[in-house]
A and B are shown apart, each in its own frame.
With several copies, the nearest count.
Chain A
C-alpha cells in the first residue's frame, strides 16, 4: 500500500487530496498507467505528464523512478513558490 497525494489542479481533477493505493507497479510511470486505467478523472489528470511533477517520499524524482521503498507518492503541477 502506498499513500498517493495530489496538489493544486491535480488534486481538483482527481477529486481527493490523498488515497491509499494497492499496487505492484515498479515505477512511478507504471503507477500512473494503473491509475489512468481506473477512471476518467485519473486519465484526465494525467493526460499531459509534461505538466505534472512527482515526488517519492517527499523528494522530486522523474517518472521512471522506482517505487521500491516508496511510502508516499505525490503528484502536482510545476511548483510556484516565492
Chain B
C-alpha cells in the first residue's frame, strides 16, 4: 500500500516487482499525456497542492482498501511539465479475485479524477488553456 507524488517518471515494471505478494490478479491503469485534437500540444503543466495531495490520495487509497479485499495497492501521480506521450500517473491493485482488482482500480481512478488536487494546463503552440473538470468525471463518483 503506498502513495507517491513526484516530478520524476516511474517504471511500471519496477513498481510491479513483488507487487501483490502472491495475489492472482493485478490490474494497472497508466495515464499518458495525449496530444490535443489540433496536434499542437507542447507540454502539459501539472500543478498540485502539496500540503493536501498526499493526504487526499492516501484517503482515496484507504477508502478502496476498506471496500475491497486487496493484497496491495499503489498510486503514483506526477506533477510538473510533461511532454505528449509521457506517463502522468498510475494506479495498481492486487487481489486474489480479478473483479476486486478491476473495481478497486476503477474506483481509485474515478476519485483521482475529481478528488485529488491536481490541475492541468495545456501549453500549445498557439497559447495556454486550463483543462476543465468534466461533469462525466464527477458523475462517475455516483456509482460507488
Contacts and interface: CB of A to CB of B under 8 A. Distances in A.
| A and B associate | yes
Nearest to B115: A79
A80 B120 contact: yes
Contact of B119 (A7, A55, A59): A7
A76 B49 CA distance: 10
A72 B51 contact: yes
Interface residues of A, number: 17
A69 interface: no
A77 B49 CA distance: 12
B109 A8 contact: no
Contacts of A59: 52
B126 interface: no
A82 B109 contact: yes
A11 to B, nearest CB: 8
Size class of B's contact patch?
Answer: 20 to 34
6 contacts: A7-B119, A58-B49, A74-B117, A77-B130, A81-B116, A82-B109
B66 interface: no
Interface string A5-18: 10111000000000
Interface in B47-78: 47-49, 51-52, 55-56, 77
Contact of A74 (B49, B116, B132): B49
Interface of B: 31, 47-49, 51-52, 55-56, 77, 88-89, 98, 109, 112-121, 130-133, 137-138
Interface of A: 5, 7-9, 55, 58-60, 72, 74, 76-82
Given A76-B119, A82-B89, A82-B112, 6 more contacts: A7-B119, A8-B130, A72-B51, A81-B89, A81-B115, A82-B77
A33 B112 CA distance: 30
A59 B55 CA distance: 9
Contact of A5 (B49, B89, B133): B49
Contacts of B109: 82
Given A7-B117, A55-B117, A81 B52 contact: no
Contact of A55 (B52, B121, B138): B52
